[in-house]
Amino acid sequence: MTDLAPKLSFGAWLPVYGGWLRARGFETEPSFAECRDVAIEAEQGGFEFVYASENFLNCIHGPRHDVLDVWTTLAGLASATERIGLVGALKPSFRPAVAAAQMIATVDKIARGRIEANLVCGWQRDEFAEAGLPWEGHDEKYDHATRYLAALEAYWGGAGERPRRALHGGRRPPIWVSGHSDAALTLAGHRAETLFINGMAPGDVAALRERLRGLSPDRAPRIAMNAFVVLAETDQAAEAARADLLARARPELIAYYREVIAASGADTWSHLSDAELLDANGGFATALVGSPDTIRRRLATYAQAGVDAVVCQFPSMADDVRRFAREVVAPLARSDRPASGAASIEDFVQ
């Protein structure tokens, strides 16, 4: 196997919803100070980017809990950091393209060209209702996103369908698209630089990579995958920590989100078990639970399967970002090869 270090880059989720688990002890309110700490630790530790998700209703702890706005948070982080990439989610239905284009261009100027934008079509029906917006079907949302991206590119002075005056002299930031459907893969394959997917087993990533290649044979965006990481000194200690997290699950909150998922027709999450709904976006499906060596070997498997970037959530974001940087990211950057005994894809197919 070739060198893993250039194959995989790492990002950290910003805790814009508070704690990342639907579990006791994670009901913290989000704060800009914590997001700033995570971004600074990630930058110092060699992460490539931080990622801010956009939901107008808190998708972890419920609609009565606060959630930070993505783009004002990134504007603040642009001044608090120097090098790290700043990736923000953007829901096409919730802002006119002209407003979004100007907003992103302005934040990108503050960040001196470090902004990337992730198109997220949205899955919570209640969120659309709260905003007074019509609920669209799955494919309609991706059709909308395709038109929206063309309008953004036109406002930025790019290759949109109806070129307009560039609002800020126009840099088109790198574009991400989230999703697993053919509609998502087609949009990402033809128009985006990165496809962002939920956590899944390595064999499923490899199959998705083949689907993407079939839908977009002439263009290959990179694949970024969500992961929830439990890192400890030994595999046994990491498994014990994971078991403790599962024991602290809030069943009433998981049941609530199961109802929200059903009402919204969100097929991506409809099959998940209660344990898999403990975190957001299937992070535990990656099995990144173990000692530093175990996690490095599992990351090698994901690189082999076609993952280019891993977007990490942790139980304690700032502290765990620091530890992950020291015990996983730095050794990979120094190594000419992955950890000895790197597993094959089949070893981790679930």
Q: Is residue 192 part of a domain?
A: yes
Q: Is residue 4 part of a domain?
A: no
> What pLDDT does residue 341 have?
45
Distance CA 78, CA 110 (A): 6
Q: Is residue 147 part of a domain?
A: yes
Q: Is residue 151 part of a domain?
A: yes
Residue-wise pLDDT tens for the chain (350 aa)?
A: 344 544 799 999 999 999 999 999 998 899 999 999 999 999 999 999 999 999 999 988 888 899 999 999 999 999 999 999 999 999 999 999 999 999 999 999 999 999 999 999 988 889 999 999 999 888 999 999 999 999 999 889 855 455 555 565 568 999 999 999 999 999 999 999 999 999 999 999 999 999 999 999 999 999 999 999 999 999 999 999 999 999 999 999 888 888 888 887 766 656 778 888 888 888 999 999 999 999 999 999 999 999 999 999 999 999 999 999 999 999 998 874 444 444 444 443 33
Distance CA 156, CA 164 (A): 8
| 101: CB partners within 8 A, 6+ apart | 151, 152, 155, 156, 167
Q: Is residue 2 part of a domain?
A: no
> What pLDDT does residue 344 have?
45
Q: Is residue 315 part of a domain?
A: yes
Distance CA 136, CA 234 (A): 47
What is 188-203 written as a DSSP string? HHHH-SEEEE----HH
Q: What is the CATH number of the domain that holds 37?
A: 3.20.20.30
Q: Using one digit for the tens of pLDDT, what is the confidence trace for 201-241? A: 999 999 999 999 999 999 999 999 999 999 999 999 999 99
Range of the domain at 56: 9-348
Number of domains in the chain: 1
Q: Residue 108: which of 131, 124, 85, 92 has the closest Cα?
A: 85
Q: Is residue 1 part of a domain?
A: no
CA-to-CA separations, 178 to 118, 227, 271, in angstroms, rounded: 7, 14, 19
Q: Residue 125: which of 253, 271, 263, 269 has the closest Cα?
A: 263
> What pLDDT does residue 167 have?
60
Q: Is residue 333 part of a domain?
A: yes
> What pLDDT does residue 348 have?
36
